[in-house]
Amino acid sequence: MYLSGRAAIVTGSSRGIGRSIALAMAREGADVLVNYTGREAEANLVADEIKAVGRRAVVFRADVSRPDEAGRMVAAAVESFGRLDILVNNAGITRDNLIPRIREEDWDAVLSVNLKGAFNCIKAAVRPMLKARWGRIINITSVVGITGNPGQANYAASKAGLIGMTKSAAREFGSRNITVNAVAPGFIVTEMTGGLPEETKSRMLSEIPLGRLGTPDDIAPVVVFLAGEAAAYITGQVIMVDGGMAM
């Protein structure tokens, strides 16, 4: 199996894209720490599915925007699995509004989870990777971080920031055989996009050459690929998985 013997953390893996990534990694042989903030029951279900394919799973509640909680999560993975090879920074939130209406707390919340959260997790997780001289860090950004989107200035800023951090980390850790890449999904059907008005969805759909909205299972195989040996010479890249929407 492609990720046999590896241990991974997938942040925000109780549902949506993170859940799909966690399950795909387990099917390829990795042990996985399932992270969540609120939805404990859903996180437990993901862990049950991981165990059902014969891999180890740890469920860990941590708000990634808090450095102490991110640190404890990494320590729990290393203690449970004896190693940590793969970090997927997937946890993310939106607080959409036009700029004049974005409240300070909505700006801060989105930047804290999406950008600082990834930084907190990288800072903690890179230690065991540096020791092992092997690691894979994959940051889930968004096409919106490249193109911008009205009503998403805070979200787009956080995702663009994540791309800058990805490239900086790739340069810092490359000599230790740690790759750092970003995956930029387009419009993916999850709870995050579920609340958008139908007219927004059909406008987006009309801009997608492949003629359909994406699913979490469209994203997971790309993340699995980047996490394994076949992607050893890829670092600092942003892979768009968007049905051609933002080319």
Instruction: Give the tokens for residue 111.
Output: 């930047």
Cα 90 to Cα 16, 21, 87, 138, 210: the distances in Å are: 10, 9, 9, 8, 24
CB of 50 to ligand NAP, least distance (A): 15
Reference 42, options 27, 70, 61, 29; nearest CA is 61
- For the chain, state the CA radius of gyration: 17
Distance in Å, CB of 143 to ligand NAP, minimum:
7
Contact status: 39 vs ligand NAP (CB under 6 A): yes
Alpha-carbon distance of 7 to 89, in angstroms, equals 14
Q: Which residues are catalytic?
A: 155
Using alpha carbons, select from 212, 194, 102, 207 the residue that is nearest to residue 157.
102
Identity at 189, one-letter amino acid code:
V
**Does 120 help bind ligand NAP (rule: CB under 6 A)?**
no
CA distance 59 to 82: 16
**Selection from 60, 56, 57, 55 nearest residue 27 by Cα:** 55
Binding to ligand NAP by residue 140, rule CB under 6 A?
Answer: yes
- Examine residue 113 and tell whether it contacts ligand NAP (CB under 6 A): yes
Site string for ligand NAP, 147-186 (x = CB under 6 A): --------------------------------------x-
Footprint (CB under 6 A) of ligand NAP, residues 80-99: 90-93
Choices 33-41, 50-58, 80-88, 223-231 (CB under 6 A): range interacting with ligand NAP: 33-41
- Residue 64 or 78: which CB sits closer to ligand NAP? 64
* Site stretch for ligand NAP (CB under 6 A), options 63-71, 98-106, 222-230, 232-240: 63-71
Q: Which residues bind ligand NAP (CB under 6 A)?
A: 11-18, 35-39, 42, 63-65, 90-93, 113, 117, 140, 142, 185, 187-188, 190-193
